[in-house]
Amino acid sequence: MARRARNRRDPGALASAAPPSPFIRRRLPFFDVLGEEEIARLEDQVDWILQEVGIDFRDDPDALRLWKEAGADVRECRVRAPADWIRDLCAKAPREFTQLARNPARSVTIGGANQVFAPIYGAPFVRDLEGGRRYGDLAALEKLVKLAYMHPNLHHTGLVIVEPCDVPVSHRHLDMLYLHMTCSDKPHLGAITEMSRAQDSVDMAEILHGKEVMDANCVIMGNVNTNSPLLVDKVVTQSIRTYCGRGQGIIVVPFILSGAMGPVSTAASVTQAMAEAMICCAYAQLIRPGAPFVLGNFLSSMSLKSGAPTFGMPEPVISNYAIGQMARRAGLPLRCGGSLTASKIEDAQAAYESADSMHSTMLAGANYVLHAAGWLEGGLCTGFEKLVMDADRLGGYQKVLGEGLAVDDESLARDAYGEVRPGGHFLGCAHTMRHYAGAFYEPALSDSENVESWEEGGGKDMRMRAFERWNAMLERYEPPALDEAKVEELQDYVARRKREIPEAWY
Amino acid sequence: MARRARNRRDPGALASAAPPSPFIRRRLPFFDVLGEEEIARLEDQVDWILQEVGIDFRDDPDALRLWKEAGADVRECRVRAPADWIRDLCAKAPREFTQLARNPARSVTIGGANQVFAPIYGAPFVRDLEGGRRYGDLAALEKLVKLAYMHPNLHHTGLVIVEPCDVPVSHRHLDMLYLHMTCSDKPHLGAITEMSRAQDSVDMAEILHGKEVMDANCVIMGNVNTNSPLLVDKVVTQSIRTYCGRGQGIIVVPFILSGAMGPVSTAASVTQAMAEAMICCAYAQLIRPGAPFVLGNFLSSMSLKSGAPTFGMPEPVISNYAIGQMARRAGLPLRCGGSLTASKIEDAQAAYESADSMHSTMLAGANYVLHAAGWLEGGLCTGFEKLVMDADRLGGYQKVLGEGLAVDDESLARDAYGEVRPGGHFLGCAHTMRHYAGAFYEPALSDSENVESWEEGGGKDMRMRAFERWNAMLERYEPPALDEAKVEELQDYVARRKREIPEAWY
């Protein structure tokens, strides 16, 4: 039976363009790791950083002018502000908001008890079993956008799934946005690296969604890092002005390698991340009260042997749990964690680290999870196999979060005990027949056969099965429908901007 | 720097015969997934199974007689009993107890907020990178006992790390016990498969520890499965009589594949496991009030494709969290979970599944974790590489549990913000210098180097590094000291019993 079942298997079979749920509505309770006294001490430290230490806003006189006018204590570029005031400003940000997708069935709600998974962001390299490791290019990005679109366990396509290094840096954002807008109808991000690129993102979103829809909804977001420690540069403030000024969303993420960009202490790094992100949220609310904002945290540990960042380790695991609780207290949507690893290939190290990182990300209640699939080499490389391997596991997390433990008459199954005697089995009883088909999450890439069947099937490891799966998925890719006039308008926009913007390769 | 660091690396270097802590004293709060109403419904169902459905005690008239005399409702072999009475009996079991090791520095406390990790139990096959997959033998078991003894992240050596299939079945327990008692000084388990083998285990423990110590302490435990659903056979009741009758411990574990040995529902399977284990606990307390008892749960999901058990899936993950909370409410030490997988080799599937299984096992508060390292193929095969790979990850869990998030003046690091300006770095500041060395868990088998250094080093995946590590560990194995007279007494006992017990191969 096992063998027949395997032969019927189609490695692309579970690829679906119509997921049952466009995001996760969490029913599982949250995991609070901090007691009241610990929270009070951490929040007191956040307040101390905001009020006493202060945060630099550099290279952007407009931002400093606004802080001054609003009443902050501004000396040179250091901004200090009463913590109560910053918290009041943060309270203007929505606890949850919807990012509208061009296909409304795929819109995601970010914040509250909702959780949204998106692929890796920003890797310059790409790797697959056939082509090996190489620089990313537009062809690879197109395939990755299609896979993120097709995979039922990814809710959002992010943006830079890999850097298209064959396109001039100054033109990349245009080609990336065009791919996400035409090859997928899931929500995605816009560019942030320069103000004009952020503006192009917003303008192309307006073409795709129309001015009226965009006036009334968040349809695009930017994702931007502070320069930890305690430094916010113009890339952040200009992105906030461009996205939030147009009523769109912004994700601000302190990236802290404890011991380098923050103290060598998880508690201190978490408070620093809270302070950096909260002051950016306050700035966004000064720009536009009610602007959708996601508080980010990307905290990693370090190898004593190499000084390199490490992932899936106990310190970032604990930081996910702690920042989850802190963000809920602050009433702000959270981005943290992901399926992170320092491994170079899709081996056991990659999977152990990714699973511990992602299990804690999931339980922590992260509302928007960038890097949920495809990450290798500390984020330097996107793996095609890794993308579908991670995404396969995300379905399990979706079930844990979305269902929790059902406790009702039907799940208690008393009728089954009327049918089955001690020492018997429940395989054929009525309760089993009613629930068998939906009882278990069945990942596409996990092999549960016995060793003989597995060997007869070629003894393929998960990596090889993942290679077959993403290739099979791409073979059946069909683009989602899009009004031809809009496609042309986007193409014209991209062509015009490429003529206007000089080619630059760095 | 990275390269020099690697060249200095010694794959056996972190192997230590003197762990800093012989078990985990948990400081991390527990994760409660069930609300009061859900707990009440689940406990009501446990009571209903005990009172109305009943549990069969087969092939052991002594057990039925005791139940009858104690006042249970016994019809044929079905035992029904008032739930309050069963709960009162269970309350006689200690909430936590110490299993004394022959080296007192290695004694473990089981129950309460303590957590103890032990290797895989019961696999007939063994696998390593050089020798491939083969039947287990005494030579393999000896190596595995030594590795479990040497590894700082394993607190307990279990018993059947692999089946020594080259020894007659009827003699195996003697050789296994001798190996655990002489090659290691960590605590371990005894045999349960027949009453005489359980008795041999207890008798050999008495030789090792002396009668007086054994009279006053738990020095050995048995681990035994019920025959789910709702069936307790004589292997269980005789083991309880042999171990608990001598004041020793017993672990009773319902093994439920949902849909086969229990309803196809996690909630129902968890209540069934509670009822089966609790009635065995009550029986143990009738035999000897205060007998050390561990309530077990081994719940797995199923593949719809092959009907085979699956591991690391959302249903067993949730069951770990739920049974953790139920066991804490019942005040009984818990065994559940482990680093479980259906994968045949040490690939990414094995690691993803093991990590999700073990992460939930850890957070659930499992007090005694059998199968925490080395498990492959749904438990049919012990992997040498898998053993050290899993154990490497256990160190991270130990830190998450044992430290949680430290929040105090030193961890808040305010002095560091006096030294480091915005945009600077904390690498050389005084706080970092004070804490750098102990700040991060550094797994021996995770490679965090850049891709160039990793390739220059041979591009070894985790499996290959694990192979090198366990071989290097064994090269530096030194047996723990043991009184020569005791060694001889144990040898004499084993020799005498081998003469007395006929060789049997099945």
Please write the tens of the pLDDT for every residue from A121-133: 999 999 999 999 9
Question: Given an 8 Å threshold on Cβ–Cβ distance, is A412 in contact with B41?
Answer: yes
User: Is the reported ipTM for this assembly greater than 0.85?
Assistant: yes
Give B-chain residues touching A229 at CB under 8 angstroms: 420, 422-426
Q: CA-to-CA distance for B458 and B9, rounded, in angstroms? A: 14
| Per-residue confidence band for A20, with pLDDT thresholds at 50, 70 and 90 | low
pLDDT at A19: 52
Question: Given an 8 Å threshold on Cβ–Cβ distance, is A406 in contact with B266?
Answer: yes
Residues 135-194 of A with CB under 8 A from B: none
Task: Please give the average per-residue pLDDT across B257-262, as a whole number.
Answer: 95
With vertex at residue B162, the alpha carbon angle to CA A458 and CA B236, rounded to the nearest 5 degrees, is: 120
Give B-chain residues touching A260 at CB under 8 angstroms: 425-427
Task: Please give the average per-residue pLDDT across A482-498, as a whole number.
Answer: 98
> Nearest residue of B to residue A356 by CA position?
B355
Residues 307-346 of B with CB under 8 A from A: 307-310, 312-315, 317-319, 321-322, 342-346
Other beta carbons within 10 angstroms of residue B283's beta carbon come to 28
Helix (H, G, I), strand (E, B) or coil at B186: coil
| Mean model confidence pLDDT for chain A | 95
Residue B131 in tokens: 């020798």
Give B-chain residues touching A49 at CB under 8 angstroms: 417
pLDDT at B111: 98
Indicate if the pLDDT at residue B349 is higher than 50: yes
Q: What is the pLDDT of residues B104-140, one digit of tens each?
A: 999 999 999 999 999 999 999 999 999 999 999 999 9
B468 Cβ contact list (under 8 Å, min separation 6)? B11, B460
Helix (H, G, I), strand (E, B) or coil at B502: coil
Which residues on adjacent β-strands are paired with residue B299? B256
Indicate if the pLDDT at residue B9 is higher than 60: no
Give A-chain residues touching B31 at CB under 8 angstroms: 31, 363
Residues 209-228 of B with CB under 8 A from A: 227
Q: CA-to-CA distance for B108 and B367, rounded, in angstroms? A: 10
pLDDT at B20: 63
Give B-chain residues touching A326 at CB under 8 angstroms: none
pLDDT at A2: 35
Question: Given an 8 Å threshold on Cβ–Cβ distance, is A264 in contact with B435?
Answer: yes
Residues 86-125 of B with CB under 8 A from A: none
Residue with tokens 């020594």: B164
| Mean model confidence pLDDT for chain B | 95
Indicate if the pLDDT at residue B50 is higher than 90: yes
Residue with tokens 């749990």: A321
The nearest CA of chain A is from the CA of B11 a distance in Å of 13
Q: Which of B305, B348, B451 sits opposite A344 (nearest CB)?
A: B451
**In this predicted model, which residue has the larger pLDDT, A46 or A438?**
A46
DSSP letters spanning B406-452: --SHHHHTHHHHHH--TT---TTSHHHHHHHHHHS---SS---S-HH
Q: Which of B230, B262, B348 sits opposite A346 (nearest CB)?
A: B348
Contact (CB, 8 A) for A223 and A121: yes
Kind and range of the H or E run holding A327 = helix A314-330
Contact (CB, 8 A) for B354 and A352: yes
Indicate if the pLDDT at residue B244 is higher than 50: yes
Q: Which of B5, B58, B351 sits opposite A351 (nearest CB)?
A: B351
Q: Is A411 on the interface with B (CB under 8 A)?
A: yes
> Nearest residue of B to residue A39 by CA position?
B407
Task: Please give the average per-residue pLDDT across B343-372, as a whole number.
Answer: 98
Indicate if the pLDDT at residue B491 is higher than 90: yes
Q: What is the pLDDT of residues A294-343, one digit of tens each?
A: 999 999 999 877 889 999 999 999 999 999 999 999 999 999 999 999 99
Contact (CB, 8 A) for A235 and A192: yes
Question: Given an 8 Å threshold on Cβ–Cβ distance, is A422 in contact with B230?
Answer: yes
Q: CA-to-CA distance for B171 and B178, rounded, in angstroms? A: 11
Q: Phi, psi at residue A164, to the nearest 5°?
A: -80, 85
Give B-chain residues touching A350 at CB under 8 angstroms: 348, 351
Indicate if the pLDDT at residue B408 is higher than 50: yes
Domains defined along chain A, listed by start: 90-403 (3.20.20.480)
For chain B, give the longest Cα–Cα distance.
79
Residues 423-462 of B with CB under 8 A from A: 423-427, 429, 431-432, 435-437, 439-443, 445-451, 453-455, 459, 461-462
Of the ranges A11-15, A216-220, B235-239, which one carries the lowest mean pLDDT score? A11-15
Q: Report how many Cβ contacts below 8 Å link chain A to chain B.
A: 407
Question: Given an 8 Å threshold on Cβ–Cβ distance, is B412 in contact with A28?
Answer: no
Nearest to A397 by CA among B325, B313, B336, B341: B313
Other beta carbons within 10 angstroms of residue A86's beta carbon come to 22
Question: Given an 8 Å threshold on Cβ–Cβ distance, is A425 in contact with B42?
Answer: no
Task: Please give the average per-residue pLDDT across B331-340, as a whole number.
Answer: 98
Of the ranges A169-183, B8-22, B327-341, B386-400, which one carries the lowest mean pLDDT score? B8-22
Share of chain A above pLDDT 70, in %: 96
Question: Given an 8 Å threshold on Cβ–Cβ distance, is A268 in contact with B229?
Answer: no
Q: What is the pLDDT of residues B205-242, one digit of tens each?
A: 999 999 999 999 999 999 999 999 999 999 999 999 99
Give A-chain residues touching B313 at CB under 8 angstroms: 396, 440-441, 443
Question: Given an 8 Å threshold on Cβ–Cβ distance, is B439 in contact with A360?
Answer: no
| Per-residue confidence band for A106, with pLDDT thresholds at 50, 70 and 90 | very high
Indicate if the pLDDT at residue B161 is higher than 70: yes
pLDDT at A5: 37
pLDDT at A307: 86
Q: CA-to-CA distance for A487 and B423, rounded, in angstroms? A: 43
Which residues on adjacent β-strands are paired with residue B134? B126
Q: CA-to-CA distance for A461 and B346, rounded, in angstroms? A: 9
Q: What is the pLDDT of residues A124-168, one digit of tens each?
A: 999 999 999 999 999 999 999 999 999 999 999 999 999 999 999
| Per-residue confidence band for A351, with pLDDT thresholds at 50, 70 and 90 | very high
Kind and range of the H or E run holding A111 = strand A108-111
Give A-chain residues touching B422 at CB under 8 angstroms: 54-56, 78, 229-231
| Per-residue confidence band for B201, with pLDDT thresholds at 50, 70 and 90 | very high
pLDDT at A506: 81
Indicate if the pLDDT at residue B484 is higher than 70: yes
Q: What is the pLDDT of residues A357-416, one digit of tens each?
A: 999 999 999 999 999 999 999 999 999 999 999 999 999 999 999 999 999 999 999 999
